[in-house]
Amino acid sequence: MEAILLVGGQGTRLRPLTVSTPKPLLPTAGVPFLAHQLARAHAEGVERIVFATSYRAEMFEAAFGARAHGVDLAYVTEDEPLGTGGAIRNAARALTCGPDDPVLILNGDVLSGHDVRAQVKLHEQADAAVTLHLTEVDDPSRFGCVPTDDQGRVTAFLEKTPNPVTNQINAGCYVFRRSAIDAIPENRVVSVERETFPSLIESGATVMGYVESGYWLDVGTPEAFVRGSRDLVLGALTSPAMPGEPGERLVLTGADVAPDATVGGGATVGAGAVVEAGATVIGSVLLEEAVVAEGAAVRDSVLGRGARVGPGAVLDGVVLGDGAVVGPGNELRHGLRVWPGIELPPTAVRFSADT
Ligand code: GDD
Ligand code: MG
């Protein structure tokens, strides 16, 4: 089966990490996020994937080339971002399958353990135009809200509505009949969520919901990104692309963790990163060359390449851009983001080993 992978978004909610690297390429459990998606797609029977790229398009081919994780790869770039539907239509130029064949469409920022083969089977049994993977979340207002009838047919598609009618949401993985892709208007911005799905439903086309509530996560926010990496390291979702066995921590080759430092809770320590004596790193992602100095405590945070956390500093739920420096003794809490290269001076109360 062929698939189209949507990877053209700017990843604004993950800035400043996405200033230099597109969201789907951010290191997650030790490898680019997409490595997990490619490996899982391969395991589900996908043989060829067309990347629909826009933002920092050239970085994708540089990362994966013509074949990776058992899948043949092609790249189609939009001159201007065409939205999700426009991107699918544009990328379909590179598909080789026939008009009645099923094509898998994947949002490029989703970790999902669902059974893609079962989704395709439902699609074929129902002879549907489109079959959407649906799951349940606590706050459906941040997603596409998708009610279904008792036959599993989708009755409406309400993108990011403030008044969701159900907790059942669009999980960002679709099976399209190829001819339904070719019916999307060409060369203009189209949103599948706001235009294609509502008009298919309106016109009476068969749009099915494949409901499966296994492991599912959209890694589009810093908290979710950290959670996704942590879950992969801990083995909550198994990925054939994980470098090493699941466990409390993933310490990559060339990282330097002091013997009495505490690293756990699914934390990843990147190549060349350093965790000094007495420091604590829990459930976080340390990119290459990041440094956590002695006695510092880092929890549920992302440290960009070469970022440094000074002695005794405390970070909880924080994003440090590449090369950012947090001076000794600072305490940064939930949601704070430090831009690349910014240096926060030491606090007046300096850390010392006996305070
Ligand atoms: N090529 C291309 N061009 N890709 C794009 C474009 C574009 O113009 N715009 C967005 N994308 C890609 C993003 O890179 C991402 O992989 C995917 O399309 C979805 O975009 P997001 O920005 O992550 O959307 P979202 O998370 O707010 O909402 C979408 O996903 C939810 C599930 O995670 C919607 O599909 C919701 O309905 C859905 O519930
Ligand atoms: Mg998303």
Distance of CA 89 from the midpoint of ligand 2 (Å): 19
**Is residue 311 a part of any domain in this protein?**
yes
Confidence of residue 244 (pLDDT cuts 50, 70, 90): confident
Average pLDDT taken over every residue of the chain: 95
Alpha helices in the chain (DSSP H): 17-20, 33-43, 58-64, 83-91, 116-125, 178-182, 197-202, 222-234
Residue whose CA is at the smallest distance from ligand 1 atom 39:
143
Q: Calculate what percentage of the chain has a pLDDT beyond 90.
A: 93
Residue-level pLDDT at 337: 95
Last residue of a domain, one of 172, 202, 218: 218
Confidence of residue 26 (pLDDT cuts 50, 70, 90): very high
Q: Are residues 153 and 111 in the same domain?
A: yes
Q: Identify the DSSP state of 346.
A: P
Average pLDDT over residues 280-291: 97
Residue ranges around ligand 1 (CB below 6 Å): 6-9, 52-54, 78, 81-84, 87, 107-110, 143-144, 159, 169-172, 193, 218, 220
**Is residue 291 a part of any domain in this protein?**
yes
**Is residue 229 a part of any domain in this protein?**
no
Q: Are residues 206 and 72 in the same domain?
A: yes
Q: Calculate what percentage of the chain has a pLDDT beyond 70.
A: 98
Q: Do 234 and 308 form a contact (C-beta atoms < 8 A)? A: no
Distance CA 180, CA 323 (A): 46
Q: Are residues 76 and 171 in the same domain?
A: yes
Q: Which residues pair with 314 in a beta bridge?
A: 297, 331
Question: What burial letters (b/e) apply to 213-236, b meaning 16+ CB within 10 Å?
Answer: eeebbbbbebbbbbbbbbbbbbeb
- Residue type for position 193: E
Last residue of a domain, one of 196, 218, 240: 218
Spatial CB neighbours of 83, under 8 Å, sequence gap ≥ 6: 189, 190, 191, 192
Residue-level pLDDT at 355: 46
* Residue 307: Cβ within 10 Å count: 28
Q: Are residues 330 and 208 in the same domain?
A: no
Residue 136: both structure tokens together: 């349940």
Distance CA 286, CA 268 (A): 6
**Ligand 1 atom closest to residue 9's alpha carbon, by position in its atom list:** 14
Query: Which pTM does this prediction carry?
Result: 0.93
Distance of CA 168 from the midpoint of ligand 1 (Å): 17
Q: Are residues 152 and 287 in the same domain?
A: no
Q: Do 322 and 307 form a contact (C-beta atoms < 8 A)? A: yes
Q: Do 121 and 102 form a contact (C-beta atoms < 8 A)? A: no
**Ligand 1 atom closest to residue 143's alpha carbon, by position in its atom list:** 39
**CATH classification of the domain holding 305:** 2.160.10.10
Residue 163 is part of which domain span?
2-218
Residue 174: both structure tokens together: 């679709």
Distance CA 73, CA 66 (A): 5
Residue-level pLDDT at 238: 92
**Is residue 202 a part of any domain in this protein?**
yes
Chain segment 98-109, per-residue pLDDT in tens: 999 999 999 999
Q: Are residues 200 and 131 in the same domain?
A: yes
Residue-level pLDDT at 256: 97
**Is residue 16 a part of any domain in this protein?**
yes
- Angle among Cα 297, 303, 309 to the nearest 5 degrees reads 45
Residue whose CA is at the smallest distance from ligand 1 atom 21:
9
Confidence of residue 143 (pLDDT cuts 50, 70, 90): very high
Residue-level pLDDT at 352: 55
Q: Identify the DSSP state of 111.
A: E
Q: Are residues 80 and 206 in the same domain?
A: yes
Q: Identify the DSSP state of 193.
A: I
- Angle among Cα 227, 109, 253 to the nearest 5 degrees reads 60
**Is residue 62 a part of any domain in this protein?**
yes
Catalytic residues: 160
Q: Are residues 135 and 44 in the same domain?
A: yes
Distance of CA 195 from the midpoint of ligand 1 (Å): 14
Q: Are residues 289 and 209 in the same domain?
A: no
Distance CA 39, CA 49 (A): 11
**Is residue 189 a part of any domain in this protein?**
yes
Q: Which residues pair with 159 in a beta bridge?
A: 144
Asked whether residue 354 carries a pLDDT value surpassing 60, the answer given is no
**CATH classification of the domain holding 14:** 3.90.550.10
Q: Are residues 204 and 253 in the same domain?
A: no
Spatial CB neighbours of 121, under 8 Å, sequence gap ≥ 6: none
Domain count, the chain: 2
Q: Are residues 16 and 64 in the same domain?
A: yes
Residue-level pLDDT at 169: 98
Asked whether residue 350 carries a pLDDT value surpassing 60, the answer given is no
Q: Are residues 141 and 195 in the same domain?
A: yes
Average pLDDT over residues 201-211: 97
Chain segment 29-74, per-residue pLDDT in tens: 999 999 999 999 999 999 999 999 999 999 999 999 999 999 999 9
Distance of CA 288 from the midpoint of ligand 1 (Å): 27
**Which ligand has the nearest atom to the CA of 8?**
1
Q: Tokens 């544009």 belong to which residue?
A: 90
Residue-level pLDDT at 208: 98
**Is residue 236 a part of any domain in this protein?**
no
Distance CA 277, CA 187 (A): 57
CA pseudo-torsion sign 19, 268, 24, 333: negative
Chain segment 208-225, per-residue pLDDT in tens: 999 999 999 999 999 999
Confidence of residue 347 (pLDDT cuts 50, 70, 90): confident
Which secondary-structure segment (H or E) carries 344?
Answer: strand 343-344
Pairing of strands 280-282, 262-264: parallel
